[in-house]
Amino acid sequence: MKAFVNALVYVEGEGLKKTTVAFGERITEIGSNVGKAEEIALPENAIVLPGFIDEHIHGAGGSDAMDGTQAALKTIAETVAAEGTTTFLATTMTQSKENITRAMTAVKEYRAAAHEEGARLGGVHLEGPFIAAAHKGAQPLEYVAKPSVSVFDEYNEASGRAIRIVTLAPEEEGAEQLIAHLAASNIVPSIGHTGAKCADILRAMAAGAKNITHTYNAQSPLHHREIGTVGSALLYDGLNAELIADTIHVSVPAIQLLVKCKPNDKLTLITDAMRAKGLQDGVSELGGQTVIVKNGEARLEDGTLAGSVLRMNRAVGNLVEKAGVPLLQAVDYATINPARTLGIDGETGGIRVGKLADFAVLDDKFNVLYTIRDGRIVYRA
């Protein structure tokens, strides 16, 4: 049994309070009457938060989910643990059927091996290939495919039924059938890489769509005669909006607009990070395409943004320091909100007795001091 003793803790439903939290694999006690436990000493400026959940990340530490190996997934898990992340979804991209299937198989094998290192692999975010060619972003055009229930089912079986989110363009032929199929299977249909108009979004929502992939990016913009995907994300409370808060993919005023328009429980921070996260600037790769990483920006040779090198603790910090979002609201965007989207809020996403002992311990500059997953220290500064 371990414990944070008289620490500043974000307790679910209570806010910030000085208290003691005891835990094994799960949180056992919160309060002053905690029994004998090994104390984890913290500095005065430490704050104990729920572990972060990244529902959209392609890679880190030189590895990518599309590498299709357990070793690559292990590298990603260990790298993101250093930013306070305790759960992540291995995010794929538009690629050949063979390459996507290999990535799915690696996820199945990795999860079956019950790796204890780093962050928990919570499943898969299938980003593509069911997207719109005109809004492919950094996705390879030659592998864009029409939405297909049968092809999705093949991928899901290969993953050990680990797919949790699917990004797709709702205006494409076959999309409504796939959205309904996903919703019936408790998998999140997410609207992204799309030229959808408002009418397309409404049909998708009626079929079960409830998420917007990296809001603002690679989607139809807001226009006063057609609000498109961006306008729909801002308008409809039933849609949860992902946000890359690196201030590169989305400007600070655009971040503030999204925060102002969305209910507090309908915005989720993601990193959308690629393999260069955690490495020095230089040449990297995404889906077989050359990526140049310089000054915190990852771009294809033609200048197209190619994912990010954003750390989740910095995403939270950016919201607070640059966009003026209250601390606990920003933390919710990285913890309980993605947990609710994924249907795992009964297990993680908050600090409450009975939940998994997943913690991100930060200092007052948003640096990560400890990351604890299932009661085990998986990162220490």
What pLDDT score does 356 carry?
Answer: 98
What pLDDT score does 139 carry?
Answer: 86
The one catalytic residue in 54, 67, 246, 272 is 272
Both tokens of residue 30? Answer: 């919160």
Rounded Cα gap, residues 19 and 16, in angstroms:
9
214 labelled ligand-binding = yes
Rounded Cα gap, residues 191 and 178, in angstroms:
12
Rounded Cα gap, residues 328 and 68, in angstroms:
36
pTM: 0.97
β-pairing verdict for 359-362 and 368-373: antiparallel
Amino acid code (one letter) for 274 = M
Rounded Cα gap, residues 69 and 187, in angstroms:
24
Rounded Cα gap, residues 367 and 299, in angstroms:
26
Q: 118-136: string of b/e by CB count within 10 Å (b at 16+)?
A: bbbbbbbbbbbbbbbeebb
125 labelled ligand-binding = no
138 labelled ligand-binding = yes
Rounded Cα gap, residues 197 and 172, in angstroms:
12
56 labelled ligand-binding = no
Q: CA 192: distance to chain centroid? A: 14
37 labelled ligand-binding = no
Coarse DSSP helix, strand, coil percentages of the chain, rounded to the nearest 5 percent:
30, 30, 40
Q: What are phi and psi of 277, to 5 degrees?
A: -60, 130
What pLDDT score does 36 carry?
Answer: 84
What pLDDT score does 288 carry?
Answer: 79
Active site (annotated) includes residue 272: yes
58 labelled ligand-binding = no
What pLDDT score does 285 carry?
Answer: 87
Rounded Cα gap, residues 144 and 128, in angstroms:
7
Rounded Cα gap, residues 220 and 226, in angstroms:
9
127 labelled ligand-binding = yes
176 labelled ligand-binding = no
Q: What residue has token string 């490495």?
A: 279
305 labelled ligand-binding = yes
Spell out, as residue ranges, where the chain has pLDDT lower than 70.
none
Rg of the Cα atoms in the chain = 20
What pLDDT score does 371 carry?
Answer: 98
296 labelled ligand-binding = no
Q: Are 81 and 119 in contact (CB under 8 A)?
A: yes
What pLDDT score does 157 carry?
Answer: 98
Instruction: Tell me the CA end-to-end span of the chain in Å, nearest whole number.
Output: 21
Rounded Cα gap, residues 365 and 335, in angstroms:
19
Nearest Cα to Cα of residue 376 among 86, 99, 167, 91: 86
- The DSSP code sequence of 308-360 is B---HHHHHHHHHHTT---HHHHHHHHTHHHHHHHT-TTTSSS--TTSB--EE
Q: Using alpha carbons only, what angle is made at residue 8 by residues 6 and 12, rounded to the nearest 5 degrees?
A: 110
What pLDDT score does 333 carry?
Answer: 99
DSSP symbol at 249: S
Rounded Cα gap, residues 186 and 163, in angstroms:
10
Both tokens of residue 3? Answer: 């414990």
How far, in Å, are 1, 20, 35, 56 from residue 211 at the CA level?
38, 36, 43, 12
What pLDDT score does 338 carry?
Answer: 98
